[in-house]
Chains A and B, each alone.
Chain A
Amino acid sequence: MVSETNNATLVYERPESLTEMPTFYCPGCTHGTAHRLVAEVLDEMGIRETTIGVAPVGCSVFAYNYFNHDYVEAAHGRAPAMATGIKRVLPKKMVYTYQGDGDLASIGMGEIMHAAARGENITVIYLNNAIYGMTGGQMSPTTLPNMKTTSTPLGRDVEVAGYPIRMAEIISNLDAVSYVVRRSLHNPANIRKTKKAVKTAFQTQASGMGFSMVEILSSCPTNWKLSPSKSLEFIEEQMIPVYPIADFKVNPEIKNIKG
Chain B
Amino acid sequence: MVKKLLKGNEAFAEAAIRAGCEGFFGYPITPSTEFLEHMAKRMPELGRGFVQAESEVAAINMVYGAACTGKRAMTASSSPGISLMMEGISYIAGTEVPAVIVNVMRGGPGLGNIAPSQGDYNQMVKGGGHGDYFPIVLAPASVQEAIDYITLAFDLADKYRSLVFVIVDGNLGQMMEPAELPPMRDLDFITPEWAVDGETEGRERRFLSSIYIDPKDEEVTNIRLLRRKLEIEKNEILYHTEEIDDAEIVIVAFGTAGRVASTAVRQARQEGIKVGLFRPITLSPFPYKEIEKLADQAKSMLVAEMNTGMMLDDVSLSVKGKIPIEFYGRMGGITPFPDEILDEIRRINNSPPTDTDFNAREAWLDRLELIIEGEN
**CB-contacts of B58-73 with A (<8 A):** 58-59, 61-69, 71, 73
**Given A85-B73, A88-B51, A75 contacting B196 (CB threshold 8 A):** no
Interface residues of A, count at CB 8 A: 39
Q: In the complex the two chains form, is A75's CB within 8 Å of B88's CB? A: yes
A234 at the interface (CB under 8 A from B): no
Closest beta carbon of chain B to A172's beta carbon, Å:
19
Q: In the complex the two chains form, is B61's CB within 8 Å of A89's CB? A: no
Closest A-chain residue to B55, C-beta based?
A110
Q: In the complex the two chains form, is A88's CB within 8 Å of B23's CB? A: yes
Interface residues of B, count at CB 8 A: 41
Max chain B Cβ within 10 angstroms of own Cβ: one of A49, A51, A82, A114: A82
Closest beta carbon of chain B to A120's beta carbon, Å:
9
B327 at the interface (CB under 8 A from A): no
**Given A75-B91, A85-B65, A85-B66, A68 contacting B205 (CB threshold 8 A):** yes
A71 to B194, CA, bound (A): 12
Q: In the complex the two chains form, is A72's CB within 8 Å of B65's CB? A: yes
B39-77 vs A, Cβ < 8 Å mask (1 yes, 0 no): 000000000111101110111011111111101010000
A171 at the interface (CB under 8 A from B): no
Max chain A Cβ within 10 angstroms of own Cβ: one of B50, B54, B73: B54
The B contact surface, by secondary structure, is: mixed
B149 at the interface (CB under 8 A from A): no
Max chain B Cβ within 10 angstroms of own Cβ: one of A74, A86, A110: A86
Q: In the complex the two chains form, is B66's CB within 8 Å of A89's CB? A: yes
Q: In the complex the two chains form, is A81's CB within 8 Å of B198's CB? A: no
Q: Which residues does B use to contact A, with CB under 8 Å?
A: 22-23, 25, 48-51, 53-55, 57-59, 61-69, 71, 73, 87-88, 91, 95, 196-201, 205-211
13 contacts between A and B (CB under 8 A): A52-B198, A65-B207, A67-B205, A73-B208, A74-B64, A74-B65, A82-B68, A85-B51, A85-B61, A86-B66, A90-B71, A95-B198, A110-B55
Given A82-B65, A85-B66, 17 further pairs, Cβ under 8 A? A64-B207, A69-B198, A73-B207, A73-B209, A74-B64, A75-B87, A78-B88, A81-B53, A84-B25, A85-B62, A85-B67, A86-B196, A88-B25, A89-B66, A90-B198, A94-B198, A110-B58
